[in-house]
Homo-oligomer: A and B are copies of this chain.
Amino acid sequence: MRKVNVEEKFAQFEETWSPRIVAELNGQHVKVARLQGEFVWHAHEHEDELFWVVRGRLTLRFRDGEQTLGPGELIVVPRGVEHLPVCEEETWVVLFEPASTVNTGTAGGERTVTDLPRL
């Protein structure tokens, strides 16, 4: 059992939109992801997803509005809710979600990443 320094984990990779797993508990993963630019519209059929911004600014667009989060802010996107993450600047985000969660949800496509590395 070892503690995790979150910033040190972010420093171990540079790729954006490619989450890394840093902890696991109760069938959930804690992931770190660097985001920049626009992702793809998607939803997760069975998973609620938590975004916690550590650095930068994350806008989550929804079909009926949007929310912008800065450092120290978090949000839960319920299962089934379509969302589009957008970051003008490079943004560091911690994700809490079930181990079954795929980054592009039911949308799939070329931005999909599987077999996430563990840091």
Contact = CB atoms under 8 A, between A and B. Distances in A.
A26 B49 CA distance: 8
Interface in A21-56: 23-26, 28, 30, 47-50, 52, 54
Of the four ranges (under 10, 10 to 19, 20 to 34, 35 or more), the interface on chain A belongs to: 20 to 34
Main secondary structure of the interface of A (DSSP, over half): strand
Question: How many protomers of this protein does the assembly include?
Answer: 2
Contacts of A1: 62, 67, 75-78, 81
B26 A74 contact: no
A72 interface: yes
A47 B76 contact: no
A42 to B, nearest CB: 16
